[in-house]
Copies of this chain bind each other. A is one copy, B any other.
Amino acid sequence: MQLSAQQLKAFDDQGYVFMPNCFADEEVALMRSEGEDILKADRQEVWREKTGAPRTAFAAHTFNELFRLLVSHPRLVGPLKQYFGEDVYVHQFKLNAKAAFEGEVWQWHQDYGTWARDDGMPLPRAMNIAVFLDEVMAINGPLLLVPGSHKKGVLEAGHDKLTTSYPLWTLDKETVTQLVADAEAKHGAGIVAPTGKPGSVLMFHGNLVHASPPNITPYPRKIVYLTLCAVSNHITKFTRAEWIAHRDFTPIVPVEDDALMEYARAHRVAAE
């Protein structure tokens, strides 16, 4: 799959592209079911909220065949190879749970800020791909994006190790207020919250400022965040565990477009 000229222009202007219905129900149902099993597992890759609810599961593509197929899927890998003009590798894989009632905040941040500071990634030539496993609604802790904020470079940030269980380089209130005012003036919306059915995909720039609020509803909001990095831009500092910031820079070889569907049909789960 390739991005259209219009999608590339939107990405350049706003810093993100949203693609509803990128994966079919049948493909997503199995990812949701296997994702839930992984989040229940007692293993080092699964981090928890202060309440014990799952927060994020790292590196599932290294131990789960379905998620291995997902990270090699041409609908995700194709647009990134097109955009970067070279091969890509998996820098990070996170399954963020944002559990019903207990999913906590992710404060305002840029992902590339962490990749640069903690991992020594030379340039913001890596991108986040969010794959919705549940329906993302306005009410269940959607991702909030500040349009155009990816053009501001790496902003000053503080290392927040207290707010939640996950250490993050976060932006201060004054910076976020200014960025949101700029976005309102330039793009007509200070903050956007893409919402959609399971199987929708959101790609966003490594420098795009984003956050997500707590989820106080009974509706879980699982999203896979896959970070693919241009191979020539691989990380140079190994301060985080290998299963958080990967050190295998082998180019992804895309699978067939029907690989997930074939696998899902062979491992069918009951429809919800």
Contacts and interface: CB of A to CB of B under 8 A. Distances in A.
A177 B144 contact: no
Copies of the chain in the assembly = 2
A188 interface: no
B180 A217 contact: yes
A244 interface: no
Q: How large is the interface on A (under 10, 10 to 19, 20 to 34, 35 or more residues)?
A: 20 to 34
Given A138-B138, A138-B139, A214 B217 contact: no
Interface stretch (A101-109, A148-156, A262-270): A101-109
A218 B177 CA distance: 5
Nearest to A217: B191
A157 interface: no
A213 interface: yes
A259 interface: no
Contacts of A261: none
A8 interface: no
Nearest to A176: B218
Contacts of A101: 173, 176
A211 interface: yes
Interface string A92-129: 00000000110001011000000000000000000000
Nearest to A177: B218
A216 interface: yes
A211 B139 CA distance: 11
Given A138-B139, A139-B138, A193-B138, A216 B218 contact: no
Nearest to A173: B101
B144 A193 contact: no
Contacts of A177: 100, 218
Contacts of A180: 217-219
5 contacts: A105-B216, A177-B218, A180-B217, A213-B213, A213-B216
Given A213-B213, A213-B216, 7 more contacts: A101-B173, A105-B214, A105-B216, A138-B139, A138-B193, A144-B217, A211-B216
